[in-house]
């Protein structure tokens, strides 16, 4: 049986709250509109097979947009229900689920869901954010693997403008 892994946060509670307060201040001042603030967790000395872990995540989450990336001896594993950005040649595609709502076959319920979506400050904010994304897409920095390379096994050589 695999040995249990003890996860630790890179930020203690005090540092997390301090950064959260700074983010809130920047939002109130209008410096930023929205931020995805993540906490990194790590496990020193853990022995795992990254590919096996990725496959287990895939099996459990069934996430349609996932990535397994190796850079030397560091790995990035992610699983997401939405595509934030994808670059195809000179075209940038975004398929977010933010600012959306489920539909209903029951007309009164469908109208209620529509109004709830229309009146949600959070969902409206996310819709506005993605409307701003369109004209900015040309300047988004994206990494492209060299022709014929497997991005799961090769490190990036440089960032290139879309």
Query: Which is catalytic among the residues 8, 18, 34, 82?
Result: 82
The answer for residues whose C-beta is within 8 angstroms of residue 18's C-beta and 6 or more apart is none
**Active-site annotation holds for 72:** no
> Is the pTM here over 0.85, yes or no?
no
Give the 3-state secondary structure of residue 114. Answer: helix
Q: What tokens does 76 get?
A: 């990035």
- pLDDT, tens only, 89-126: 777 676 666 667 778 899 999 999 888 888 888 877 77
What's the token pair of residue 2?
A: 């695999």
pLDDT digits (tens, 9 = 90+) for 6-26: 888 889 999 999 999 999 999
Under 8 Å between Cβ of 104 and 95:
no
Alpha carbon of residue 88 to chain centroid: 19
Provide the pLDDT confidence category of residue 27 given band limits of 50, 70 and 90.
confident
User: Does residue 87 carry a catalytic annotation?
Assistant: no
Are 12 and 40 in contact, with CB atoms under 8 Å apart? no
**Residue that the structure tokens 């701003």 belong to:** 132
**DSSP-based three-state secondary structure for 128:** helix
């Amino acid at each position: 049986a695999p040995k249990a892994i003890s996860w630790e946060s890179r930020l203690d509670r005090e540092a997390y709250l301090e950064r959260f307060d700074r983010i809130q201040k920047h939002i109130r001042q209008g410096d930023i509109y929205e931020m995805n603030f993540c906490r990194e967790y790590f496990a020193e000395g853990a022995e795992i097979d990254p590919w096996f872990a990725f496959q287990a995540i895939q099996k459990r989450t069934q996430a349609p947009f996932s990535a397994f990336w190796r850079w030397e001896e560091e790995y990035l594993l992610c699983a997401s229900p939405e595509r934030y950005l994808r670059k195809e040649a000179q075209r940038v595609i975004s398929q977010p689920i933010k600012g959306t709502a489920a539909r209903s076959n029951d007309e009164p319920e469908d109208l209620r869901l529509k109004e709830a979506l229309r009146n949600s400050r959070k969902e409206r904010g996310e819709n506005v954010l993605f409307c701003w994304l369109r004209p900015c897409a040309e300047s988004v920095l994206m990494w492209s693997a060299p022709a014929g390379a497997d991005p799961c096994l090769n490190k990036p050589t440089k960032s290139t403008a879309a």
